[in-house]
Amino acid sequence: MSEALQAPTYVKENKMAELQAVSVTITSLSGVESEFVLSQNGEFDIGRSDTCYSSINAELLSRRHLTLRYTDGQIFVTDNNSSNGSAIGDVRLIGGQTYAVQLPSTILLANGSIHVQLSSVAEQLASNSPPNTLKPTTSSPSSTSHLTGQGLNLASNLDAAPQGPITHSGSGNDELHQLLLTHGQVLIGRSYDCNYVIDSLQASRKHALLTLSNNRITLKDLDTTNGTFVNGERIAGSVNITATDEITIGTTTFAIQTGTVELKYAIVADNIEKVYAKGIVGLNTMSLKIPSQQFIALMGPSGCGKSTLLKGLNGANPITSGAITVQGLKLNNSNYNTLKKYIGYVPQDDIVHGELSVEKTLFYAAKLRISDDVTKQEIKNKISTVLASLNLDTDAIRKSKVSDLSGGQRKRVSIAVELLNDPKILFLDEPTSPLDPETIEDFLSCIRRLVSKGQTVIMVTHKPSDLDYVDQVIFLSKGGYQTYYGDKNQLLNHFEKDNIIEVYSMMKNPNQGKRWYDHWVSQNPASELSVKQEVLANKSNTALLGQYFWLCVRYFNIKLNDHANLLLLLAQPLIIGGLLVFIFSKLQVSVMFMMAVSAVWFGVSNAAKEIVSELPIYERERMYNLNIFNYIASKLTVLSIIACIQVAIFIGITHLAYSGGNSVNGISEETQLWSISSTALFMLLLSVSATLFGLFLSAVFTTTEKVMTFVPIALMPQIMLAGIIAPLDNNIKILLSYLTLGRWGTEGFAHIQDEAARELGKWTNEKADIPASVMQRVLTPPTTGNENNAAEFTTQGAMQQLNLYDDKSGMVSLFPESFTGVIIAITLINILAFCGLLLALRSKDKRFI
């Protein structure tokens, strides 16, 4: 909206008749909620909050829903970006915009469930009608198009729109047809200044343009992220369509002639089949037609293929053959990137981070999943609506850490994350398994409410009692056979059993299952269709930088909120550094070795749990739109910041311990030769490299326990092959040592030390020019242990003491004996670790691609 809509300008341009006093009557379905008269200038909030002037306890109302402003006899209204909106007539108020209102007028709040009737007191007296005569209705008033709503002055700024603000509000009628006939062009999108508004965050602000010219209708996709579909196929650019073609934008399907199309079936599966590697049959050929707005239970004994079917239908692990249509769109490669946004999927494990608050969890999920053009306010509104729909919208729950919630609440937060995208179909894999009976009741009632509001839910369950809440049941038997699909009340009749436990035990036997399958197929013959299912490729379509940024922010917050772990991470360099300087009173190669091992330890231990502990979240987000490179980069960024702090503490302690003292010939008598900046930077490089290695381990293993058991095993070679505690005296040891950061770390610190000594004392490998007393303190050789015997070690630099390049084995070194050689070697190890990490993460994709 333009500046012209702001109240001050508007007042000047739209001088209205002055009013003495305004009567306000607020009614809900249960009658009059509040009545008052405005006669003094001021602002009056209407909403759920106690702080509002008129506080109304209605579920659909936002806390501060609407503000009435009375200024010198004029009334202005502002919808405070409420979740369920406000309208005057059939014109929806744009959140945050101020409108001048003529009297009498009725403002509909929260989808029309609350009416605010405004009238002049004088008019009321004249008509003698009481202020509470308005009868509330739940449906919107007339849906005919118009340029101004009743009693509403709306400034026009439809620069992109072909005509005035003609707002769509109806469904299942020919409104779109009329708009097109009248105006020739109709702009469709999420923004309220479009001619035909699609109220879904999956739609772009300006999504598509319909044009009528020479009796031809053209539909143009305005280069949108989520695409425009005609009869289930995504269009590119402009296409000619007919008035009856079904257009899908966001989660809405409509035709020009008939308006919104209510899809009969949420999912149609034709002759689907799943065969795993080595010929293991996950599902035998089956067909399903799942109606919209149904709660379906998917049941059967363990290993019968419930998860296989669930993941086949939602594309997480595509079926091998057959065809699936979801919400009227074919589940194929070109549609999948859009389609997966209409699908909510909560796997068996929670898909939320325990360390974040509920509010933050949802905010980051929205930032990572929803298109970039959605404003912060829209996200906040969406979060409120979603939380309210799951009975989680209290301040206490919003602010609670997810880990502090009950199992049922946590599951609902996982569902809330999925609902942010307005999915039409929700797939739940055994949500009730970990819950106690009372929590299950609450949980399933909640899901039932979602179904009554339009959601289709397919839920895997083992619990017979869950059937009380569902509409239909799909029953599978061992061997992947479909043995029943239909009304839950007919299930026992169909199997001729008295209770469901008996059905379960019968279905555990694949032969019995096959018999019932044949029986089912004979009664429900499928079509002859046989289609090879395409591989569904995961393409991230979120702006890369934006996703990286929000992954970093979320991960950083997770780390910050985990106070105990954060303290441990910071205590590590203090303890290890303190121990090091306590045990080694003088700088010697052993200290360099210990520094290298410490750096490797910091990196590996910081990273080893970071992927494996959030595997369900990774897999779900990857299935949705997570870019692997963004994911790795965000982990590395945050863990490198932590490594940086650890290295700073560690280097601070060691430098304090190994420096200072008197000066001899301008050189400190005590050991301080190595440069603090080079040492710190090199230690950071080692630590970050070890982080990459730790992430690789974290991606390879499937449980936290396994990876933590392996970490010490991975660290041992770093210690044993560094050339300090045992000589590298044969080719195999040398070659293995090339793969360890421990060896290159120790060598790197030795090079830095020798370089510093060279610069300081013009020392060469052959002979030190600096006094023996200084060199003695520069580096104490571990072999003699006798500092007074200077003659034995004055010419020995750190590298010489390490003895790494003595050609005892007759092997020529693959790397030059220099600091550059060390950096090249570490870089190569990093490339190896990165490729390993990438492969390990990609192999997880195979489970759902």
One character per residue 410-439, x = contact with ligand ATP (rule: CB under 6 A): ------------------------------
Tell the smallest beta-carbon distance from residue 695 to ligand ATP (Å).
Answer: 24
Task: Determine if 306 is a binding residue for ligand ATP (CB under 6 A).
Answer: yes
Among 10-18, 299-307, 448-456, 704-712, the segment contacting ligand ATP (CB under 6 A) = 299-307
Residue position matching structure tokens 């795993």: 276
Closer to ligand ATP at the Cβ: 86 or 314?
Answer: 314
Task: Determine if 303 is a binding residue for ligand ATP (CB under 6 A).
Answer: yes
Tell the smallest beta-carbon distance from residue 191 to ligand ATP (Å).
Answer: 43
Tell the smallest beta-carbon distance from residue 818 to ligand ATP (Å).
Answer: 49
Among 83-91, 275-283, 501-509, 514-522, the segment contacting ligand ATP (CB under 6 A) = 275-283
Tell the smallest beta-carbon distance from residue 411 to ligand ATP (Å).
Answer: 17
Q: Under 8 Å CB-to-CB from 691, ≥6 apart: which residues?
A: 603, 604, 606, 607, 636, 639, 640, 643
Give the DSSP letter of residue 278.
G
Task: Determine if 302 is a binding residue for ligand ATP (CB under 6 A).
Answer: yes
Q: Residue 188 in contact with residue 196, Cβ under 8 Å?
A: yes
> Binding residue for ligand ATP (CB under 6 A) from 82, 308, 409, 598?
308
Distance separating alpha carbons of residues 409 and 391, to the nearest angstrom: 9
- Name the amino acid, one letter, at 439: T
Closer to ligand ATP at the Cβ: 280 or 713?
Answer: 280
> Binding residue for ligand ATP (CB under 6 A) from 89, 189, 305, 315?
305
Tell the smallest beta-carbon distance from residue 429 to ligand ATP (Å).
Answer: 8
Tell the smallest beta-carbon distance from residue 282 to ligand ATP (Å).
Answer: 4
Distance separating alpha carbons of residues 306 and 590, to the nearest angstrom: 58
Tell the smallest beta-carbon distance from residue 535 to ligand ATP (Å).
Answer: 15
Closer to ligand ATP at the Cβ: 430 or 755?
Answer: 430
Instruction: Provide the pairing of β-strand 74-79 with 98-101.
Output: antiparallel
Task: Determine if 282 is a binding residue for ligand ATP (CB under 6 A).
Answer: yes
Closer to ligand ATP at the Cβ: 305 or 748?
Answer: 305
Segments in 328-406 forming alpha helices (H):
333-339, 358-369, 376-389, 395-399
DSSP of 32-90: EEEEEEE-SSEEEEEESSTTSSEE---TTS-TT-EEEEEETTEEEEEE-S-SS-EEETT
Task: Determine if 304 is a binding residue for ligand ATP (CB under 6 A).
Answer: yes
Closer to ligand ATP at the Cβ: 90 or 429?
Answer: 429
Closer to ligand ATP at the Cβ: 367 or 620?
Answer: 620
Which tokens hold the place of 291? 């109606």
> Binding residue for ligand ATP (CB under 6 A) from 14, 29, 276, 732?
276
Task: Determine if 843 is a binding residue for ligand ATP (CB under 6 A).
Answer: no
Closer to ligand ATP at the Cβ: 165 or 480?
Answer: 480
Q: Residue 358 in contact with residue 400, Cβ under 8 Å?
A: yes
How many residues interact with ligand ATP (rule CB under 6 A)? Answer: 12
Distance separating alpha carbons of residues 46 and 52, to the nearest angstrom: 6
Task: Determine if 812 is a binding residue for ligand ATP (CB under 6 A).
Answer: no
Length, in residues, of the chain = 849
SS (H, E, C) 762-804: CCCCCCCCCCHHHHHHHCCCCCCCCCCCHHHCCCCCHHHHHCC
Tell the smallest beta-carbon distance from residue 352 to ligand ATP (Å).
Answer: 21
- Name the amino acid, one letter, at 215: N
Q: Is the preceding omega at residue 104 within 30 degrees of 0, hence cis?
A: yes
709-722 residues labelled b (16+ CB within 10 A) or e (exposed): eebeebbebbbbbb
How many helices, marked H, and strands, marked E, lie in the chain? Answer: 25, 34
Closer to ligand ATP at the Cβ: 319 or 700?
Answer: 319
Task: Determine if 466 is a binding residue for ligand ATP (CB under 6 A).
Answer: no
DSSP bridge pairs for 269: 288, 324
Task: Determine if 74 is a binding residue for ligand ATP (CB under 6 A).
Answer: no
DSSP bridge pairs for 474: 298, 485
Nearest to 260 by CA among 239, 246, 242, 243: 246
* Strands annotated E in 563-647: none
Which tokens hold the place of 640? 């490198």
Among 301-309, 658-666, 683-691, 830-838, the segment contacting ligand ATP (CB under 6 A) = 301-309
> Binding residue for ligand ATP (CB under 6 A) from 82, 167, 284, 307?
307
Residues between 138 and 157 with contacts to ligand ATP, criterion CB under 6 A:
none
Binding site for ligand ATP (CB under 6 A): 276-277, 280, 282, 300, 302-308
